[in-house]
A = this chain, B = another copy of it.
Amino acid sequence: MVDSSRSLHQRHTRAIGQKAGLPPGTLVHVGEQHMERTNIHRIQYDAERFHEERELSPEACFPIPPDQGVTWIRVCGLHQVEAVEAVGKALNLHPLLLEDILNTGQRPKAEDYGDTLFLVMKAHALDAESGEIVTEQVSLVLAKDLVVTFHEKENGLLRPVLERLRTGHARIRRLGADYLAYVILDAVVDRHFVVLEQLGEQLGGLDDELMKEPDSRTLQRIHRLRSELIYLRKSVWPLREAVSTLERNETGLIMDATQIYLRDAYDHTARAIDTLETYRDVVAGMMEIYMSVISNRINEVMKVLTVFASIFIPLTFLVGVYGMNFEHMPELHMRYGYFYLWGFMFAATGGMLYYFRRKKWL
C-alpha cells in the first residue's frame, strides 16, 4: 500500500527538474525505457491501396515514397534519442517540438508550427493488478498527407485504428490525414472514459463501504482515489484546451468535414471533465462523511463508557463505605442492613437508567 502510494507521485510527475541548465532544444529523453530499441512502422494508404512496413530504421523509412496517398509513421520507443532526432531531421521538425516529444512529462497541448500541427496527449489505463492509473505520452505531428505518432512503447491503444485501416472499405480509408489524426485523438479521449468508468466503480464501492463499516483502510482508499483524480485532472483539463486549439487552427491542414468530428472530440473531453469534477465533489463529500462516522462512533463509545461508569462508580463507593472498619458504624449491626443496601442500590440504578434513557443515551 505504502509503496504504491509513493509511486503515485512518481508515476505522475516524472523527473520534471532533471533538464534544468540544459540549452533549450536539447534532446534528452525524460521517462522510463520501455523497449529495447526504437521501432518505426510506415503505413501508406488511400481508398484503393494499403501498404505497411514494420521495424524500419530511420534511414529505411525516409524519404517517404511519394504519391502513395496518406502516410502514417509510428515511432515506438523514445529512449534512442538519435533515432527520434533522425526522424525529426528527415521531416524538418522544429527542435522544440522534438524536445517536447522526448520529454514525457509534458502537459497535453496543441501547437501550430505553420505547416505542421503538433499535438501532445496522455493516454491513461488502469493497471489491472495494482489498480493504479498508468499514463503514456502520445505525440502526434500532422502535416500535408502525413501523420507521425510517437509512443513510449508498443501498446494496444491504436490497434483498432490499424485494423480499420487494413479493412479496405472503412470510411477512414477514403478520408485524409486530418481524419486519421482525429481518429487517433478520439482513441485517446475514449480511453479517459474507460478509466473514469473504473474509477466510478471504485467510487460506488467506497460509498457502500462508507455506509456499512468504514475503517482506516476506507480512509486510505478515499485518499488514493482522490489523489488519482487530482493527477488525472491535471491531464484532462489541458486536453480540452488542446482540442479547442486544433479546432481554431489556421493552417488549412484540417478540412471542414473533419471540423465537425473535432467538435465532437471537444465535446467528449468536456464530458470527461464534467465526470471528473463530479467525482471529485463526491470524494470530497466522502471525506467529510468518514469524519462524521468516526465522530459518531466516538460518541457511541463515550456513551457506553459514561453509562457504565456513572452507574457503577457510585455503587462501588457505597459498598466501600460498608467495608470500612470503624468501630462504630450503626448500619452494620442492623438486622436487614445488607438487604436494605441492595434495595437502595437497585433503586438508584433504576433511577439512573431512567435518566439516561430520557437523555437518549441508551
A204 and B289 contacting across the interface, CB-CB below 8 Å: no
A327 and B332 contacting across the interface, CB-CB below 8 Å: yes
Stretch of A75-83, A136-144, A184-192 on the interface side: A184-192
Q: For the complex, is A47 an interface residue (Cβ under 8 Å from B)?
A: no
The residues of B that contact A21 with a CB separation of less than 8 Å are: 160, 187, 190
The residues of B that contact A37 with a CB separation of less than 8 Å are: none
Stretch of A66-74, A246-254, A267-275 on the interface side: A267-275
Q: For the complex, is A61 an interface residue (Cβ under 8 Å from B)?
A: no
The residues of B that contact A18 with a CB separation of less than 8 Å are: 197
- Please report A residues at the B interface, Cβ cutoff 8 Å: 1-2, 5-6, 8-10, 12-13, 15-25, 94, 96, 100, 105-107, 109, 111, 113, 160, 164, 170-172, 182-183, 186-187, 190-191, 193-198, 200, 203-204, 207-208, 211-213, 216, 219-220, 223, 226-227, 230-231, 233-234, 238, 260-261, 263-264, 267, 270-271, 274-275, 278, 281-282, 285, 287-299, 301-306, 308-310, 312-317, 319-329, 331-338, 341, 360-361
10 smallest A-B Cβ distances: which pairs? A17-B197, A319-B320, A20-B190, A17-B194, A322-B324, A326-B338, A323-B323, A17-B193, A305-B306, A9-B204
